[in-house]
Structure 1
Amino acid sequence: MDLILWRHAEAEDPVDGADDLQRSLTPRGEKQAARIGAWLDRQLPDGARILCSPARRCEQTVLALGRKYKVRAELAPDATVQQLLEVAQWPVARQPVVLVGHQPVLGELVASLMDITGGSCAVRKGSAWWLRTRERAGDRQTIVVAVQSPDAA
């Protein structure tokens, strides 16, 4: 199974008392989303499932991909690794799954799947991590297929 983790692009800074879910992308974030969206569109097969956090910044990020997507509450900023694994149907989904979400849970998910000690991995704003599960000699492994930064796309 292929699992693509896409962190939302750069967003406005939080404001005290304002709804965090309503934060929008900055102009720089819009450019980041467009770069990674174009890269993903060239790489993803037509049947990929695309799931997005209900946060405005995530929806604005995924719109740059130009494909149908579903908003899933399980991907909200307070999500857990277990919730992400369940919504993605890891490792048994038949088609690639794209999750558009937030730090720190995306980094925690990478660390968990890659068996990285310390519990988290830095996932830069706007970047995409493409992971794949495979079986070798009876062991299930997770491999990194690609990590794409918006600066390099």
Structure 2
Amino acid sequence: MNLILWRHAEAEDTASTDLARQLTTRGRKQAQSAAKWLRNRLPSDALILASPAARTVQTVEALTDQYRIVKELAPGAAAEDVLAAAGWPKGIADTVVVVGHQPTLGLVAARLVAGEQTEWSIKKGGIWWLEGRERNGAGQVVIRAVISPDLA
């Protein structure tokens, strides 16, 4: 299974609620850049899951209008919520993209790659592409790509 963690792009600091925060002009550019990078690499059957926050919806819509809102991915979600939504390690699809938030996505990356419960930082608009596989009867996680929107 491929699990792609995509942090929402830069958003305004304040709004009527946290879920209502919108992308900034810079954030829209970040989302477009990251989406362009992903578009050239994602398989056509990739399943895309997004938090219900406006900033994640705006980020994912730079890529496609074919995504699912998953309330369990809202800000403050646990790493386990992300893994359950994606069906890790077998996957609810061969490739699952999760568009979400910090510190949750950083916790997921640290748990899968290092087996630690620590907060790794994922840059706004950044993408971590992880692959779960089995080798010699043991599960492994391979880092396929880590990209910032300014490098996409």
Asked if the contact 2:19–2:54 (Cα under 8 Å) also holds between the matched residues in 1, the reply is yes
TM-score (norm 2): 0.95
Match of 1:98 in 2: 97
Match of 2:25 in 1: 27
CA distance in 1, matches of 2:48, 2:75: 17
Match of 2:5 in 1: 5
Alignment of 1:22-101 (within 5 A): 22-93=20-91, 94-101=93-100
CA distance in 1, matches of 2:117, 2:72: 24
Unaligned 5+ runs, structure 1: none
CA distance in 2, matches of 1:72, 1:66: 16
CA distance in 2, matches of 1:22, 1:55: 6
SS at match of 1:143: strand
CA-CA distance at 1:116 after TM superposition: 5.0
- Aligned residues: percent identity? 50
Asked if the contact 2:111–2:117 (Cα under 8 Å) also holds between the matched residues in 1, the reply is no
Match of 1:131 in 2: 130
TM-score (norm 1): 0.95
CA distance in 1, matches of 2:34, 2:51: 17
Q: Deviations over 1:76-129 (max 9, x none)?
A: 002111111110001112420000000000000000001254612110000110
CA distance in 1, matches of 2:14, 2:7: 17
CA distance in 1, matches of 2:63, 2:123: 18
Unaligned 5+ runs, structure 2: none
Code of the residue aligned with 1:72 in structure 2: it is V
Number of equivalent positions:
151
CA RMSD across the alignment:
1.2
Code of the residue aligned with 1:130 in structure 2: it is W
CA distance in 2, matches of 1:130, 1:118: 19
